[in-house]
Each structure stands twice: as C-alpha cells, then as structure tokens.
Amino acid sequence: MSKLLGIDVGTGGTRALLIDFTGKVVASAIHEHVAFASPQSGWAEQDPHDWWNACQGAVRRLLQESSIPATEITCIGLSGQMHGAVLLDRNDEVLRPALIWCDQRTAAECRWLNETVGPKRLVELTANPALTNFTLTKLLWVRTHEPEIWKRFQSFLLPKDYVRFRLTGERAIDVADASGTLLLDVVHRRWSDAMLQATGLSPSCLPALYESEQIVGRITESAAASTGLKAGTPVVAGAGDQAAGATGMGIVRPGDVSATIGTSGVVFAASDAPVTDPQGRLHTFCHAIPGRWHVMGVTQAAGLSLRWFRDHFAASESYDQLSSQAAGVPAGSGGVLWAPYLMGERTPYPDPDVRAALVGLGADHSRAHVVRAILEGVAFSLKDSLTIFKELGIPVKAIRLGGGGARSPLWRQIQADVYGQGVETVQAEEGAAYGAALLAGVGAGVWPSVDAACDAVVRVAARTSSEPEAAAILQRSYAKYRRIYPALRNIFTP
C-alpha cells in the first residue's frame, strides 16, 4: 500500500513520519539534534549539517524498523523550525552555524530597519514588524559583524529547506515559511522587490518560491544512497512548522484556532484574507493553503519553561511526575505567577531584552506551586494572543491543542480554564510532520486540496470543558499576570 512521508526538522530533533492514504500513522522515528549553542546570552545557533545527519538517521531508522520498502513512498513533504538563517557560499557550502528562530541578538538590526524603512512601511510591505526572530535581521547581523563571511555569502535557506537542498539539490521555499523572513510581500505571496532594494540584498540570494503543496524537486541518487529513499521520489514545498502543524490539526478555515505548546508556544488562526495588527503584536503569514493566510502570536519559551525547570531543578524526574505534583495544587498556584520570558518575548511584547520572573513566592509555597505556576504562566502568555484576536475581530469558534502541552491532562485543563472555553485534541496529534505528509498527499494527487485532505483524515479525539470556578480564579490571576511585564520592562530596558 502506498505511503506518504513527512519530515519535520525541529529544534530538538528531526522526525520522520509515514502515513497511509487514510491518514493513519503507520511508522515514525526521530533522531535528536545536538543541543543548540548559546555563545552569549540571547544567542542560539545550530549546525545545519547536524540537521542533515538527523534527517538521514530518522529516515533510515523509519525504513528499517517498519520494514516498509522505500518504493511504497509516493511523495515527501517537509516542515521545520522557522526563521533560521543558513548562509551558503557560491559552492552551496555552509558558511557558519545557523542563527535559529529563538536567537535574540539582532535588536540593532531591527532598529536600523525601523529607521531606514519605517515601522509603518514594513507592515505595508511584509505585513509584519521588524522582529529579532526574523531571517532578514539575522542576515543583516552577519553583514555587519562578520564581514569576512559576508564577502563569501551567495544565498540563504531556512532549516527545512537546507535539508530539502541536500535531498533534491533544489534551493526552494514555500510561501508560509518565507513569510517569516521579512522579505516576502505576504499579501501578494511573492518576494518583495522593495525590501530587497531597501536592504541592498540581491534577488539571486533568494530561494525559488512555491505554494506548500507544489512539487519542487525529486530525491537525487546521492540522497537516496544516504537515506535509503528511492531516487526520483517527488518532494513538495511543505511549510514551516506552525503552518504544517496547523494543517495536520485541521486549522484551515476562518474560526479554526490552535494553541500549540512545543519549545515555543503558538496561537494560530486561519483566515481568508491577510489581517494585520497595527501594533505589530501578531504575525501575519501566508498559510499552507493557496489563497489563505493566518495570524499567530508566539510565546518564546512555552514548553522551554517547563524543560528549563526540570533540567535545572528536577533532573531525575519526568514531566509526568512534575505534572502529578502540580495537580495537587489548586488553580491560581497559591498566588505564584510565572512570566515565561527566558528568551525575551514576541507576543504581545516584541522585546528581546526582557527576562523571565517568578513572582509571589512565600514561605508556604512548595515546588509543586512553582510547577503549576509555570503551566499557568505559559497559558496566560498564550491567552494574550487570544485577547488580541478579540480586539481585531478574528473569530474563535474552536480551539485545538497541539504539541507536548496537549499530552498533559493537567495542562489541557489549565488551558481550557485560562481561555474560558472548551478545548479539543485530535486523534493524530503528530505535529508538523503529519501536516507535511498531508501536503505531500495533495501534491501527489491523493486529495484534490488541503481542505479535502483535512476533511478526510482529521478527527477530534477528546474535548476538555472549562471549569467555571477554576476559570474565575485564573481570570483574576491573569489580570495580575498582565501587570508583570511593565514592571520587568523598567528593569531590563537597556
């Protein structure tokens, strides 16, 4: 029986996932990455070669452990962490470690863009403000601070697109992932000549641009030898992890909203038209569906907050153990509040300099109070995006949960109570790799459209209702939480 392969180049590892034409997951494998390097506070870098090695390892393990022959794979889709900058020379060799999505070093480049192009004009041209996370700011940083490397610079790719280049030899990108470069005319789904001119970049440095479901290349003989895949297997453009993950959860029409807690946290809403926030608190990107867009708010350190706590203060315990302890603490965490700004913040505060804070500790509080406060604080941060959606008139008919946070019953309940409405999980909550596989299926003609693919295979597995008493307590806690950032801004403003 024919299969579809989705590959997701994440922050912590690369995942390979096989589904059949009914949408059933038949096999998966993951190969972890080397932890990202942080040479200075706020910096985050990874070696693109490690992504390629992980892709090879994940695909080979998938094929070996499943005993599914590569000849059964009809098409391949790619997804991955967004915004990273892989700089290549004239021979397509990597020039330096990639600056990845959570890197915060480019505040000066953002100021330069605001002074040179102007905040209002940036939104007009790209539908987004200048943020430290976006790829363009990383390119400008290298140009300013590493001139010898910049002299050799010829082109750039995003993380998943570097892996695609190694698989197919094609330098390509989809419009959804390209939206996060600050070089795309998001409204018209094309590269922005005006942004290239304003920044002095050559069009030749840009990868070829495609819609997510389009076939952009085929597995080369050398990639087949490295991965075990069949040479000639088609590869579609795919999408960045947020658009692909939302596709895999069926978030494709207006009113569909997802809240995903991975390393970062994202609240994502599909739209039939580009909706921009005049204050620049939300991102407006192309969706993985032609003629659709999405808006999203991002919490830099969502799941990272819990991982940071576990790694440094509870290394011998699992997430389930920590969650079990936190479940014994009532809603509101006894007044303890967590502001999850370990890596600065994006929504609603585009501030790379702010840092996290644990507020309200008393002698009567235990570790369990702190863990629950972290879970609640991340949910409060995601609620900030929903608050902006309401301001802008973006409909929220249903909220589907994704990522590691969706696997925790306690975190699901906390989110339902913080958001003040029920939340859903889907049967195949397999993340961005699943969405990438669906996009591959559309490219291969298994389904006539992304809508049809989602209608055919995405099913709700469970619903969690909001508990009125807990929701009322957490609404009061959220009001207090909203007062933390202004205080922190006064402390951390350079």
Active site amino acids: 241
Task: Give the Cα separation of 127 and 187 in Å (integer).
Answer: 7
Q: Can you give the C-alpha Rg of the chain in angstroms?
A: 21
Q: Rounded to whole angstroms, how far apart are CA atoms 19 and 226?
A: 22
**Per the structure block, which two tokens stand in for 168?**
């197919």
> Is the Cα torsion angle 404, 82, 234, 57 positive or negative in sign?
negative
What tokens does 216 get?
């952009």
Token reading at 366: 């235990």
CB 341 within 8 A of CB 304: no
**How far apart, in whole angstroms, are the C-alpha atoms of residue 168 and residue 15?**
18
CB burial of residue 359 (10 Å; 0-12, 13-18, 19+): middle
First to last CA, the chain: 59
DSSP state of 22: T
303: left (phi over 0), alpha (psi -120 to 50) or beta: alpha
**CA distances, 72 to each of 20, 79, 169, 229 (Å):** 10, 21, 22, 10
Beta-strand pair 73-80/3-9: parallel
